[in-house]
Chains A and B, each alone.
Chain A
């Protein structure tokens, strides 16, 4: 297997891009990433996307974006793994380069969500759950996470307000991030008074949906070094899965897919959680942030919220998370989110994160989760110099 590096990143601000269809959003990110890498034509394009068929009545998004970006003829595929689609696209790109099938590939994530009415988008997102056993009963994604959070609070004795530091940290980081959707801080009082969506999940426990696209260019590390390119090494890339429906889980409050993918990633990279300098986790809801920290070995079972309460997750803490706002405040264009995470981690490891820079960062980890925990894609990136 060849050693793989990221040699270019490109992203659009996350927001309400009503004037831009999928092809424009996607190609803007792809072309920006290629320009960043100094590459004109990749060999393949893998596009992570979840909702193009349901919300834009558009499939075949791989060919669509390749064509619009002036790359007609190359290999181009859409990859779908619910909210983990972006991470899955990076994983596919990694496999193509590591396996020796391609030298230079682009992994892109793109999503357009704000053209539809709330009920249509909520219904489309619910298709990430088990349609027969969960969707059939009208369970939305917020409802599923509310079930998990309520059980978690019951099991471990937390109050709702104990989760406040997750969104407060995310918004604080987004306030200085140009591509974040919500570039403003929130107070503890605002969290406590936030509108309830599905108890105990309020508006400020929840990530904001948006439109956006991000892309990274992957190439063999020796290719990058030979051409003098700015490279961030992909030390590990892994996928774990679990049951789609939460009632089929062996342990409801353990994200088994995340645990499997994190363990595989640590093994591949020959590192442990104690070596990771920052973690771009999947904070679709505050409960997911807590569960992801536990499943990835950063906190013991039932201790995830403590990392937030004690300040460990802050930019200057032991394990900064959501360093550019995370899903909560950078925004969650679902199928693109996993690529935003990898692109942001790359910016950190290039020491190009501006005010959001995690000082001295050498190892960064990203984890993109699909569904309520059915799939998790973990990447560990390393600064090369």
Chain B
């Protein structure tokens, strides 16, 4: 497998995170279902407020990215939102977000779907669009308000949040792309049929043959192509459906716990699905120094992984403080009890 490189060098000219303020502790979920408090997958997860959805959250993250990029939004030639929680089955999230941000009207706007890697799929496309010269700027957003059936294992982790990245020419970038690589296979580990409210999953099959196979294959192939080892890379961000999977993937690829610490948000906010590595990358860009390398590897069930190798540039110091840091969103917490969670998530049905 060889890595992908655009015709002209590209990079991230603006980035923005968004995480809702509400949190639900895993122990609170366990209290309701009487499952004990050992082996909880995370500590707490983020919960969207009653007036928040993928559109409003994408607008928040997009605004932050625009503030850092300092460009005219009307010149953005594509705005793509990847999510498992588009508010409409038919009617694009992307065009609502584009209009709210002042993007277009001469712009591509479309919604992407590939489970938890929909956001990075949009990112690959944005790299291609700008890298081919079809446009000067493109915005890729990964954002979710994930669904977990009450009582299911997914309920502990299905969370809300994500990030927006504006791709532009490398000479404008805060971090440039060295190469990327995608890896996909027909692997039925997790799915949601039309008209179904909650996804189904194949239990432990979601682990070794799904998450680990794809994440490790994509990440290792990209590093091999670039001739890099974990020691040559400063930071790594892996898709994080829980706390354990990304830690194990990092260990198997030779990364230390320090190298993944800044981008490992799942213990505090849960699995933000299509937003997970996008917001994780934002958190790393918040602390990374010029010259440092960042590996980003997403995972989407079904299944596939996108891997990116970013090199942080001098411009990072100039853009970082133009918008709230990811840590600002993480610190802004309002804990809910299970009853309020049920109301906020509109799960209350009396039979």
Binding site for B on A (CB under 8 A): 16, 18-19, 114-115, 117-118, 193, 195-196
Contacts and interface: CB of A to CB of B under 8 A. Distances in A.
Given A114-B204, A117-B201, A195-B38, 15 more contacts: A16-B204, A16-B205, A18-B205, A18-B209, A19-B209, A114-B203, A114-B205, A117-B200, A117-B202, A118-B203, A193-B36, A193-B38, A195-B36, A195-B39, A196-B36
The 6 closest A-B pairs by CB, nearest first: A195-B36, A18-B209, A18-B205, A118-B203, A193-B38, A195-B35
Contacts of B200: 117
B7 interface: no
Interface in B165-218: 200-205, 209
Nearest to A193: B38
B258 interface: no
A196 B34 contact: yes
A117 B204 CA distance: 10
B151 to A, nearest CB: 11
Contacts of B34: 196
A236 B133 CA distance: 81
17 contacts: A16-B205, A18-B205, A18-B209, A114-B203, A114-B205, A115-B202, A115-B205, A117-B200, A117-B202, A118-B203, A193-B36, A195-B35, A195-B36, A195-B38, A195-B39, A196-B34, A196-B35
Interface string B281-325: 000000000000000000000000000000000000000000000
Contacts of A114: 203-205
Of the listed residues A18, A114, A118, A196, the one surrounded by the most CB atoms of chain B closer than 10 A to its CB is: A18
A19 B39 CA distance: 28
Interface string B31-45: 000111011000000
Contacts of A19: 209
B133 to A, nearest CB: 44
A117 B149 CA distance: 14
Contacts of B202: 115, 117
A65 B210 CA distance: 29
A16 B203 CA distance: 11
A19 B187 CA distance: 11
Contacts of A193: 36, 38
A16 B209 CA distance: 11
A18 to B, nearest CB: 6
Contacts of B35: 195-196
B229 to A, nearest CB: 30
A224 B204 CA distance: 44
Nearest to B207: A16
Contacts of B201: 117
Interface in B10-48: 34-36, 38-39
A193 B39 CA distance: 11
Nearest to B203: A118
Contacts of A117: 200-203
Contacts of B203: 114, 117-118
Interface in B311-345: none
Contacts of B36: 193, 195-196
Contacts of A18: 205, 209
B27 to A, nearest CB: 14
A117 B203 CA distance: 7
A63 B52 CA distance: 58
A17 to B, nearest CB: 11
B38 to A, nearest CB: 6
Contacts of A195: 35-36, 38-39
Contacts of A196: 34-36
A193 B203 CA distance: 22
A116 to B, nearest CB: 8
Contacts of A115: 202, 205
A209 to B, nearest CB: 11
A103 B38 CA distance: 55
A65 B38 CA distance: 43
Contacts of B39: 195
Interface in B123-150: none
Nearest to B200: A117
A115 B200 CA distance: 13
A18 B203 CA distance: 12
Contacts of B205: 16, 18, 114-115
A117 B201 CA distance: 7
Nearest to B205: A18
Nearest to A195: B36
A115 B209 CA distance: 12
B131 to A, nearest CB: 38
Nearest to B204: A16
Contacts of B204: 16, 114
A329 B209 CA distance: 23
A27 B200 CA distance: 32
A196 B35 CA distance: 7
